[in-house]
Structure 1
Amino acid sequence: MTLTRYTVRRLPLAVIQVAAVATLIFLLTEALPGDAAVVLAGDSPDPARVARIRADLGLDRPTHERFADWAGGLARLDLGESLVSGRPVSDIVLGALAPTALLAGITLALLVPLAVATGVSAAVRQGGLLDRALTSTGVALYSVPEFALAMVLIAVFSAYLGWLPATAIGGLSATVLVLPLLVLLARPLSSTGRLVRAGMIDALDAGYTRHAGRLGASTRRARYAHALPNAVAPAVQQLARTGDWLLGGVIVVEAVFVIPGLGTVLVDAVADRDLPVVQGLALLFATTTILANLAADLATFRLVPRA
C-alpha cells in the first residue's frame, strides 16, 4: 500500500473523530455546574438579575438549539463569542496561541535531536557507564512532576543565584524561556530517549543490520542508515503524544511562570464559566491530538512501510 492510499483511508476517520469530539465537548461543558450569568451577576447575585443575564446571553434556550447554532458556526470556522468579554473566541485563542506555540515549537525542535542523540549514545554503549548514567538521570527526571521541578529551578536559578527571571511578567524574552523550556523538556526527553534506546538496541541486533555489515557496510552506515530509521519508528508515536501534551498540558507551566498562553486563558475561562472559550480551546486541543496522531501514523508508515 502506498503512503497516498494510506492517507486517503485515514482522513475520513480523522474527520469523524473531530465531529464526535466536538459533540462530546459541547455536552460535557454544558454539564458543568453554574454558568457565566452567575459570574457576571456578582458575589451576591439576585435571581431575577441572573435570569435576565441568562436571557440576554441566550443561555435559557434549549440545549439542542444552542448546539445547532454552535455546530453551524463550527462549519463556518466560527467559534462564537465570549460570554464575558463579547470578543470572538477565535481572536482570544489566536491572541494566546503565540506564547504556547513558541514554547511548544522550541521544545520539539530541541527534543528530537536530543532524544535521538541520548537514545543512540546509550544504545551503542549498552551496559556501559554512559548508558547507566543517562538511564538513571532519565528515570529520575521523569518521576518529578512539572510543578515541583519548576519550583526547584526557580528557587535555584532565580531566587538563589539570580541568573534567570522567575516569571514572564516583564514580557517574553530568551532568558524568560530558559526555565520553562527545561521543565517542558525533562519528561519528554526521558521517555522518548528511552524509546529510542530500546528501539536502537533491537535494531542493532536485527538480522538486516548484521547482514548489512556482512555486505561491507561500515559500522556507522549500518547504525544510522539501517538501524536508526527502524529504531525511531516507535518514538514517533511518543513525539505525537508529546506535541499534543505541549499544547494541552502546559497549563501548569504557564501558570507557574505567568506566561499568557492557552493554558492561562483556559484557567480563566473555566473560572468565569465562559463556555464558548472553554469549548473552543477544548476543540483545539482535541483536534491537535487527532492530527498529531494521524501525522505520527503516516510518519511511522513511511519509516516502516507495510505491504
Structure 2
Amino acid sequence: MLSIEVEEPVALVEIETADATAARAAGPYRWIGRRLGLGVVTLVLVAVIVFFVTMLLPGDAARVVLGNAATPERLTALRAEMGLDRPIIVQFASWVGGILRGDFGDSLVSRRPVTDIVLPALGNTLALVTAVVAISIPLALVIGIAAAVRPGGIMDGFVGFISVVISALPEFVIAIVLIVALSTGALALFPAVSLIPVGDSPFAHPDMMFLPALTLIIISIPYLALQVRASLQDSLRSEYVTMAELKGLSRPRVLLWHALPNSLAPAIQAAGLTLTMLMGGTVVLEFIFQYPGIGLALSTAVAQRDITTVQAAVVILAAGYIVINLVADVLTLLVTPKLRTR
C-alpha cells in the first residue's frame, strides 16, 4: 500500500510535466499562427479599404483612356467593357476572386494585364532594397558596436548627432542634395535619373542604381546604428556581462559571445522596421529618380487614374509590410529563449 501511495503522485507529476512541456512546445506555433491570422485579416481589411477608396476617386477612367473628345456613346461602351457600369459590390467580388486566382485584372489605361506592369516593377524595387540592406545592416552593426563599447566617446556622439540630423530631413531633400552634388556641375559622376531599359536587371546598371541606393542607405544606417548601440549598451550593463568579466573573460569575448547575442532581438525588430520604411521610401524616391520600381508604377497609375494598377500595387506593398513584420517577429522568437517558453 505504501508503494502505491508513493507512485501515484509521481505519475501525476510526470503527466503534468509532460503536459506543461507540450504546452510550452506548442506555444511558439500558436503564437506564429495568431500572427499569420492577424496578417491575413489585416491584408483583407487593406484590400477592402483600397478598393472602395479608389472607386471613390474623382475622375473617369474611360475618359482618361479616350480623351476629352470622346462621344458619350463611346464612353458608355468603354465603361461597359471595363465593367465600370456594374454595381460596386459585384466589381469588388470579381476583383477579390481574381486576386485569389493570382489575376489582378487588366490596366484600365494600357489594357495590359496588371501583373505584367506590377511584377517587373516589384522585382526592380526588391533589387534596390536588397542592395541597400546588404550594405546598410553590416555597416550599422559595426557603427553601433563601435558606439556602444565607448559610451560618451566620439563615435557615440557622432551616431546620436547624425541620427537627429537625418531624421529631421525628408527623404526628397536628401535625394535632391545628392543629385546636385553628384549629378550636376563638375561632379557629374552618376545619372540623375535611373532610365533602366525595360527587361534589364537593375544590377546590370549599377551607375543608375547608385543615387537611389545611396539615399536609402543614408536614411537607414543612422537609425539602425542607434538601435544597435542602445540595445548593446543595455546588455553591457547587465549582470551576466559583469559576471563574465569577473570570471576573467576578455572584453572581445564578452562582447561577441555574451552581450551581442542578447542584443539581437531589438536589432532584428529595428531591421524589420527599417525594411518597411525602405519599402515606403521607395515610393517617393522612385518618382524623384524615375527608377522603374513599384513606387513609380503606383504614382504613374494614380496620375492616370488607372484604378486596377493602383489597387494591385497597394495590396502588394501591404503584403510586403506584413511579411517583413512577420519574419522579424519569428526571428525575434528564435533568438529569444524566454519567448519560446511562453
1:281 aligns with 2:277: no
Q: Considering only CA atoms, is the larger Rg found in Structure 1 or Structure 2?
A: 2
1:91 aligns with 2:116: yes
Q: SS of 1:86's equivalent? A: coil
1:185 aligns with 2:217: yes
Aligned to 2:3: none
Aligned to 2:189: 163
For residue 135 of structure 1, what is the amino acid of its counterpart? G
Would you say the 8 A contact 1:266–1:281 is kept in 2? Answer: yes
CA distance in 1, matches of 2:72, 2:258: 70
Alpha-carbon offset, residue 48 of structure 1: 4.2
CA distance in 2, matches of 1:126, 1:35: 60
Q: Which residue of 224, 237, 240 maps to 1:208?
A: 240
String of CA shifts for 1:53-100, please: whole Å, max 9, x gaps: 212211010011011111111111211111111211111111212321
| Equivalences for residues 221-236 of structure 1 within 5 A | 221-236=253-268
5+ residue gaps in structure 2? 1-23
CA distance in 2, matches of 1:109, 1:298: 20
CA distance in 1, matches of 2:32, 2:250: 35
Alpha-carbon offset, residue 218 of structure 1: 2.3
CA distance in 2, matches of 1:128, 1:202: 16
Q: Which residue of 152, 157, 160 maps to 2:177?
A: 152
Would you say the 8 A contact 1:241–1:289 is kept in 2? Answer: no
The CA RMSD measured in Å over matched residues stands at: 1.8
| Equivalences for residues 191-202 of structure 1 within 5 A | 191-202=223-234
Would you say the 8 A contact 1:244–1:285 is kept in 2? Answer: no
String of CA shifts for 1:263-307, please: whole Å, max 9, x gaps: 111111111111111111110011111111111111111222323
Aligned to 1:270: 302
Q: SS of 2:260's equivalent? A: helix
Aligned to 1:174: 206
Would you say the 8 A contact 2:286–2:292 is kept in 1? Answer: yes
Alpha-carbon offset, residue 147 of structure 1: 1.2
Q: Which residue of 92, 104, 107 maps to 1:82?
A: 107
Alpha-carbon offset, residue 28 of structure 1: 1.7
Stretch deviating more after TM superposition (176-185 or 7-16): 7-16
Would you say the 8 A contact 2:195–2:208 is kept in 1? Answer: no
5+ residue gaps in structure 1? none
Q: SS of 2:184's equivalent? A: helix
Cα distance change, pair 77–170 in 1 and its aligned pair in 2 (3 A): closer
| Equivalences for residues 1-307 of structure 1 within 5 A | 1-2=24-25, 3-160=28-185, 161-169=187-195, 171=197, 172=202, 173-305=205-337, 306=339, 307=341
CA distance in 1, matches of 2:322, 2:107: 25
Would you say the 8 A contact 1:115–1:192 is kept in 2? Answer: yes
Cα distance change, pair 195–77 in 1 and its aligned pair in 2 (3 A): same
CA distance in 1, matches of 2:86, 2:280: 31
Aligned to 2:5: none
CA distance in 1, matches of 2:190, 2:304: 33
Alpha-carbon offset, residue 5 of structure 1: 4.5
Alpha-carbon offset, residue 230 of structure 1: 2.6
CA distance in 1, matches of 2:196, 2:336: 47
CA distance in 2, matches of 1:6, 1:110: 32
For residue 191 of structure 2, what is the amino acid of its counterpart? P
Q: SS of 1:217's equivalent? A: coil
Alpha-carbon offset, residue 170 of structure 1: 6.0
Q: SS of 2:32's equivalent? A: helix
Aligned length: 307
Would you say the 8 A contact 2:145–2:229 is kept in 1? Answer: yes
TM-score (norm 1): 0.93
String of CA shifts for 1:128-170, please: whole Å, max 9, x gaps: 1221123212322222221111111111112121222222226
TM-score (norm 2): 0.84
Stretch deviating more after TM superposition (236-245 or 125-134): 236-245
CA distance in 2, matches of 1:186, 1:44: 48
Stretch deviating more after TM superposition (294-303 or 128-137): 128-137
